Chains A and B, each alone.
Chain A
Amino acid sequence: MQLTLWTYEGPPHVGAMRIAASMRGVHYVLHAPQGDTYADLLFTMIARQDRRPPVSYTTFQARDLGGDTAELVKKTVAAAYERFAPEAMLVGESCTAELIQDQAGTLAQSMALPIPVVPLELPAYSKKEHWGAAETLYHLVRTVLADRVPAPGTPRAARAPGRRPRANLLGPTVLGFRCRDDVAEITKLLDALGIEVNAVVPLGASVADIRRLPDADFNVDLYPEVSRTTASWLERAFAMPYTRIVPMGAAATDELVAEVAALADVDAGDLLDGAARRTRARWYARSVDSTYLTGKRVFVFGDASHAIAAARIAAEEMGFTVVGLGTYSRELARDVREAAKRHGVEALVTDDYLEVEQAIAAAAPELVLGTQMERHIAKRLGIACAVISTPIHVQDVPARYSPVFGYEGANVLFDSWVHPLMMGLEEHLLAMFREDFEFHDAAPASHLHAPARVAASTEAPATAPVTTPVTAAPAVPSSAPAQAPKWTADGEQELKKIPFFVRAKARRNTERFAQERGLALITVDTLYEAKAHFGR
């Protein structure tokens, strides 16, 4: 049993819903009790879809349990086929139906409908949303392509001379992070290389599009959390290679361009030579105005692919310092651990929101790049934040074109990460004029409307109604000896003159400095000695 306040991922059947809701002509029959229809509102409200997700629920009740819930499954499948005339059907169970073991998928298959029926077994007590999505896409693709799989070992036919190379884009879904615009951006990029997009799956795809998947020369595995399983099966079954680069950030986009150019056997030279000019973000990062971004402390948390990419961009393309990197995607935890090593931090692999909150408080970052959850953590701690990954809320599905992949994506990321921060000159003013009525501690960046409501520092979430681990976390590491050094009154006073966004770090460093030297009291001088020692 795991105590959870907020969850990063839904259950696996919500992943299956994301596949069905992304496609056309696919219907999902879900054996589930009343209440599970809540998931519909994720699609209609967060993603503002103008149609209900194509899901029929059996809605069994307690009084059905003694009777024939299996009959209810068959009735629902028949009614859904009749009403929606789908081209393929997914049939599965939510957590409660899994316990009563009606084998909904097998039952539906036995009805011999004249369309592909894909039984889904998604263990709700051990797996989660992304896994459910990946598994569903994989089984759907396998079922639809079953009769097209060539004999093992059959080599791919060479591309006919004069035919443009073709690629599939795999993995974009409804409720994914900026998928709609990423697909458009990557399509443009491939087009610039002379590569045609053969099919985009599952977003906007029909069953016929799945049938056409093997007509492409290779797959672009855009969202490994959702499509890696399918991409690797297509490689085994059809000898179709797939890309490994997630094209988030200018450098990663260059790498994807090179990767697909090699797979398609086209020349990427022109595109890559022009790329630097094409990406405004590269110039903006080099412009002197951005100097103040240097070394800003950033904490990154999200799904594995977005978190890894964001950390790399933060470090290499923005000049930030990555002080924390983590993911809730256990399936890809190894990749995140490797990335964390490159940034010199310990990866945080957890789906416990409280643990993430504690880690952020302890790292005292100046910017958090996270999910909808971290937005709230950051708000509470008074730290700037930008969302880079699912889970998302309605404001993360913008009306404007706003990809995060490709060259335009790099521009979007630059803007959306810099926006929550205080501008450089403003920071200086704040450091110089501590008592100014406008540039005081609690004042937010002047271009942001919302006043900071929190005593904006990790050292004092004093307004929290209860004792949370957060309150205790930041100041002293747990291994510290009992007699922590004390601050003298004037030392404490001087500390308050340090801008709030670095104050927690200054406090921590000074205390560590004093402790290491066995000092019992921290004076003004200790503070400045520590400052000189650690530098910035």
Chain B
Amino acid sequence: MTNPNPFPAAAAARCATPEVLRERGQREVFCGLTSIVWLHRKLQDAFFLVVGSRTCAHLIQSAAGVMIFAEPRFGTAILTDRDLAGLADANDELDRVCVTLLERRPDVRTLFLVGSCPSEVIKLDLAKAAERLNARLFPRVRVVSYSGSGIETTFTQGEDNALRALVPSMVDDDAKQLLVVGCLADVVEDQFRRIFHALGVGPVRFLPARRAAELAGVGRNTFVLAAQPFVGETVRALVARGATLVQAPYPLGAEGTSAWLAAAAAAWSVPGERLGEVVQPLEERARAALSHHHARLAGRSVFFMPDSQLEIPLARFLHRELGMRPLEIGTPYLDRQLVAAELAMLPAEALLSEGQDVERQLDRVRAAQPDLTVCGLGLANPLEAEGLATKWSIELVFSPIQGYDQAGDLAELFARPLARRALLARADGISPGRTIADAVSAPDRRAA
């Protein structure tokens, strides 16, 4: 049943651009600072110092669910009136804060200075600051800078900027290697490592590495395989260093994972037979796991509000492997180069939208009455109260969802809200179509 590599031809045939609705208005999307929430767990000897306002600090702790980690490897240097009064003093202050911080955290090997909206607007030059600090601190600590500001980046673009900031530190290395780009859960990374080894693809390096000392090199024989659809700038910076981008769909679902691995295998000229031997049993296992959720999801409609840029590959997965019907696929930012192979696999009737005008988009949600709406935490409960089932999108960024052995878990994330509603409807007699607020007396609703 498995044709291990059916995609490049299909992608070439459908490269004609699908129509895209471009929206400009209020965005209900996090800014790039938010990716620090997972980056700081992945990079075990790095510290992320946001140079920004109290709002930035409040944003990250709120997005992180308020205080999950007692001693986080991130913090905010909060600008005060005094810093705004004179930039020279602000630079001195920043140096002081960094030195204090590093004294407190002698385990830190990479310090990221992260620009924010206010630091960009007052033109505080963090690249210069990094240079200045490196003169004092390198090689014990490497200081790099990038922007996670909301005026320039959305949500996952923060990770892209952070990884791109590491590229200049990568040494020249012309040996043949596979470089997998984009944060993956450790467990997923280990699974892929084993599969690549079985395929004879390697050496395999990951960007980001878990520790600073493990940072890969890059050169003309580096093949770059993106693990996430939002690492476009990093990929282009690597290509500028001589690397080759391996185009592939993303490793979400059985089909996506096979196609992703196949693209890497092709770059290593792995014989089709060998690929089949390694991949087929894993793919079958993944399909078996997916089959548990098929009945719950097949034929159901799904609406993606823009959030993490994972929307396009997720819609492809839900459509092709679980038979769902994507109505609208919103993405905060469409990087055509990175999703070329994905776009070719989307159903023609789904509306693709880029950017956001949240009120107009919610009008479309209400008109379409999707069976499932994938959206951020600010919208989920209000939509549930209107009677619409939702899936919080942030869980899709915080959970291991890539690879064969997570395909079932990924499907379950979408099936769970529907299963839950069915369960509760049985218990309290509310039919799934009625709104909870209609059926339950809600004093809070009257109060506020």
Query: Which A residues have a C-beta under 8 Å from some C-beta of B?
Result: 1-7, 9-11, 13-14, 21-24, 33-42, 44-52, 56-62, 65, 76, 79, 83, 94-96, 99-100, 123-126, 128, 174, 180, 203-204, 372-373, 375-377, 379-380, 391, 393, 464-469
A41 and B72 alpha carbons, distance in the complex (Å): 21
A62 and B447 alpha carbons, distance in the complex (Å): 39
Chain B residues 78-93 with CB under 8 Å of chain A are 78-81, 83-84, 90, 93
New A-B contacts (5) at CB < 8 Å, excluding given A44-B377, A125-B79, A391-B66: A9-B54, A37-B30, A46-B66, A125-B84, A372-B67
Chain B residues 90-115 with CB under 8 Å of chain A are 90, 93-94, 96-97, 100-101, 104-107
A38 and B65 alpha carbons, distance in the complex (Å): 11
Residue total for B at the interface (Cβ-Cβ under 8 A): 75
A37 adjacent to B27 (CB under 8 Å) = yes
Known pairs A3-B77, A22-B448, A124-B53; A35 contacts B97 (CB<8 A): no
Kindly list chain B residues whose C-beta atoms are within 8 Å of the C-beta of A49.
Answer: 381-382, 444, 448
Known pairs A3-B75, A33-B31, A174-B448; A41 contacts B359 (CB<8 A): no
A2 adjacent to B78 (CB under 8 Å) = yes
Kindly list chain A residues whose C-beta atoms are within 8 Å of the C-beta of B74.
Answer: 5
B26 adjacent to A95 (CB under 8 Å) = no
A94 adjacent to B79 (CB under 8 Å) = no
A95 adjacent to B378 (CB under 8 Å) = no
Kindly list chain B residues whose C-beta atoms are within 8 Å of the C-beta of A58.
Answer: 26
B359 adjacent to A83 (CB under 8 Å) = yes
Report the nearest B residue to A381, measured CB to CB. B70
B66 adjacent to A34 (CB under 8 Å) = no
B94 adjacent to A1 (CB under 8 Å) = yes
Of the residues A5, A33, A48, A83, contact of B149 by C-beta under 8 Å? A33
B381 adjacent to A57 (CB under 8 Å) = no
Report the nearest A residue to B95, measured CB to CB. A1
B382 adjacent to A44 (CB under 8 Å) = yes
Of the residues A3, A83, A96, A123, contact of B97 by C-beta under 8 Å? A3
Known pairs A7-B54, A96-B151, A372-B66; A180 contacts B443 (CB<8 A): yes
Known pairs A2-B78, A33-B149; A204 contacts B446 (CB<8 A): yes
A33 and B151 alpha carbons, distance in the complex (Å): 6
A10 adjacent to B58 (CB under 8 Å) = yes
Q: Does B28 lie at the interface of the complex (its beta carbon under 8 Å from any beta carbon of A)?
A: yes
Kindly list chain A residues whose C-beta atoms are within 8 Å of the C-beta of B96.
Answer: 1
A37 and B105 alpha carbons, distance in the complex (Å): 32
Q: Which of B116-124, B195-203, B225-233, B344-352 contacts A (4 or more CB under 8 A)?
A: B116-124
Report the nearest B residue to A184, measured CB to CB. B443
Q: How far is the CB of B108 from chain A (nearest CB, A)?
A: 9
Kindly list chain A residues whose C-beta atoms are within 8 Å of the C-beta of B55.
Answer: 10-11, 13-14, 36, 94-96, 124
Report the nearest A residue to B384, measured CB to CB. A50
Known pairs A7-B61, A35-B30, A37-B378; A50 contacts B444 (CB<8 A): yes
Most B C-beta atoms less than 10 A away, residue of A50, A57, A95, A377:
A50
Of the residues B30, B71, B122, B359, contact of A466 by C-beta under 8 Å? B71
B30 adjacent to A62 (CB under 8 Å) = no
A376 adjacent to B444 (CB under 8 Å) = no
A37 and B32 alpha carbons, distance in the complex (Å): 13
Q: Does B76 lie at the interface of the complex (its beta carbon under 8 Å from any beta carbon of A)?
A: yes
Kindly list chain A residues whose C-beta atoms are within 8 Å of the C-beta of B51.
Answer: 1
B78 adjacent to A37 (CB under 8 Å) = no
Q: Does B237 lie at the interface of the complex (its beta carbon under 8 Å from any beta carbon of A)?
A: no
Q: How far is the CB of B382 from chain A (nearest CB, A)?
A: 5
A80 and B386 alpha carbons, distance in the complex (Å): 21
Kindly list chain A residues whose C-beta atoms are within 8 Å of the C-beta of B70.
Answer: 376-377, 379-380
A58 and B81 alpha carbons, distance in the complex (Å): 24
Of the residues B53, B90, B446, contact of A95 by C-beta under 8 Å? B53
Known pairs A4-B76, A35-B150, A37-B27; A50 contacts B442 (CB<8 A): yes
Chain B residues 194-232 with CB under 8 Å of chain A are none
A121 and B443 alpha carbons, distance in the complex (Å): 33
Of the residues B58, B75, B378, B445, contact of A14 by C-beta under 8 Å? B58
Known pairs A2-B78, A95-B117, A466-B71; A42 contacts B62 (CB<8 A): yes
A13 and B53 alpha carbons, distance in the complex (Å): 12
B75 adjacent to A4 (CB under 8 Å) = yes
A45 adjacent to B154 (CB under 8 Å) = no
Kindly list chain B residues whose C-beta atoms are within 8 Å of the C-beta of A380.
Answer: 70
A465 and B44 alpha carbons, distance in the complex (Å): 11
Q: How far is the CB of B295 from chain A (nearest CB, A)?
A: 30
Known pairs A57-B26, A124-B55; A96 contacts B117 (CB<8 A): yes
Kindly list chain B residues whose C-beta atoms are within 8 Å of the C-beta of A38.
Answer: 30-31, 34, 58-59, 62-63, 378
Q: How far is the CB of B379 from chain A (nearest CB, A)?
A: 7
B67 adjacent to A373 (CB under 8 Å) = yes
